[in-house]
Amino acid sequence: MALTMQILILVLLPTVFLLPPRAEAGEIIGGRKANPHSRPYMAYLEILRGNRRSHCGGFLVAENFVLTAAHCNGEDITVLLAAHNVRRDEETQQRVSVQHKIPHPGYNKTSRENDLMLLHLVEPAELIDAVDTIPLPQAGQAVEPGSMCSVAGWGRTSPKTKTNILHEVELEVMSDEICQNLRCYGPVMMMCVGDPNQDKASFSGDSGGPLVCDRTAQGIVSFGKKNGSPSRVFTRVSAYVPWIERKMRGLRSPGPHVERLGPLH
């Protein structure tokens, strides 16, 4: 157990000083490469904040809407769809500008409460085999503790190893009681995922990416604890379905263009 904790601490240290309080960047560690385009809802977000560029994950919930984490906000966001390797030209890729960024009005960057954001694309994505939407859960729907769900992202695959290829990992949903005991914050708007007895990953996936349970987007990657706990905290999507649907209804107007082919640089 002591060795396990040492490994987790070593994995966490490289990112601790680069992130907001109580937050960690998303990484897929202990997972595997995803089959190309096996997750057609996945979106790669390139984010511009001043002179700094970063990236997050996201997922397509309607032809012209991507859902992600509110802490992935920036001055400018570009969405890349149908990408397996984000640094290679792939015929399937669609690059789409964001027309409106709608972070949840209750988002708290310190506690990460209400950590979700809706992105309204300038034009609907072209739905093909490699680009498709993922269903949202029913409002208030709970995920059974012990359920095995999956997370995917383009984050690091080890503390020092970056990747441009989509990776995935399966993780177990914790009960609300265990979540509270681990001090992973309130179970109403958040959910904890990860087996404390396994070292599958230091984090669950790229920030903003979906926690997929039974082909439904049940969570949004939010943050991981800094105390070495293997648990990860996700925004519980079912708590926000009415807000998401209301915002999408109010912003269904097409805009300028979708650029086909080529990765983001």
- Of residues 96, 53, 59, 56, the one with CA closest to residue 75: 53
Q: What is the pLDDT of residue 183?
A: 58
Residue pair 210/217 in contact by the 8 Å Cβ criterion: yes
Domain identity same for 170 and 123: no
Structural domain count of the chain:
2
Q: Please say if 132 is a catalytic residue.
A: no
Q: What is the mean pLDDT of each run of 10 residues along the chain (265 residues)?
A: 38 31 46 89 94 92 97 95 91 95 94 93 96 97 92 73 83 82 64 68 66 96 64 89 94 54 42
Domain identity same for 227 and 168: yes
- The Cα diameter of the chain in Å comes to 56
Q: Please say if 55 is a catalytic residue.
A: no
- Of residues 242, 227, 208, the one with CA closest to residue 12: 227
Domain identity same for 209 and 78: no
Range of the domain at 157: 2-34+136-238
Span 92-121, pLDDT tens digits: 999 999 999 999 999 998 888 899 999 999
Span 3-51, pLDDT tens digits: 443 333 333 323 322 333 333 444 555 678 889 999 999 999 999 998 8
Q: Does residue 212 sit within a domain?
A: yes
Domain identity same for 152 and 209: yes
- Of residues 125, 105, 127, the one with CA closest to residue 116: 105
Q: Give the three-class secondary structure for 253.
A: coil
Q: In this structure, what are the phi and psi dihedrals at residue 192, rounded to the nearest 5 degrees? A: -105, 140
Domain identity same for 209 and 147: yes
Q: Does residue 201 sit within a domain?
A: yes
Domain identity same for 105 and 143: no
Q: Does residue 265 sit within a domain?
A: no
The CATH number given to whatever domain includes residue 227 is: 2.40.10.10
Q: What is the pLDDT of residue 200?
A: 54
Which is the catalytic residue, given 207, 222, 229, 231? Answer: 207
**E-state strands within the chain:** 32-33, 42-49, 52-62, 65-68, 76-81, 94-103, 117-121, 148-153, 167-172, 190-193, 210-213, 216-224, 232-236, 258-260
Q: What is the pLDDT of residue 120?
A: 97
Domain identity same for 249 and 210: no
Domain identity same for 27 and 141: yes
pTM for the model: 0.80
Q: Does residue 8 sit within a domain?
A: yes
Q: What is the pLDDT of residue 229?
A: 52
Angle at 212 between CA 201 and CA 7, to 5 degrees: 5
Q: How many helices (H) and strands (E) does the chain have?
A: 3, 14
Domain identity same for 73 and 95: yes
Residues with Cβ within 8 Å of residue 2, at least 6 apart in sequence = none
Domain identity same for 58 and 27: no
Q: Does residue 23 sit within a domain?
A: yes
Q: Does residue 98 sit within a domain?
A: yes
Q: Does residue 62 sit within a domain?
A: yes
Q: Please say if 207 is a catalytic residue.
A: yes
Q: What is the pLDDT of residue 25?
A: 41
The C-alpha atoms of residue 208 and residue 217 are separated, in whole angstroms, by 11
Which is the catalytic residue, given 37, 55, 71, 120? Answer: 71
The C-alpha atoms of residue 132 and residue 63 are separated, in whole angstroms, by 8
Q: What is the pLDDT of residue 18?
A: 30
Which is the catalytic residue, given 37, 55, 84, 115? Answer: 115
Domain identity same for 99 and 117: yes
The C-alpha atoms of residue 181 and residue 192 are separated, in whole angstroms, by 11
Q: What is the pLDDT of residue 243?
A: 97
Residue pair 54/83 in contact by the 8 Å Cβ criterion: no
Q: Does residue 189 sit within a domain?
A: yes
Domain identity same for 155 and 232: yes
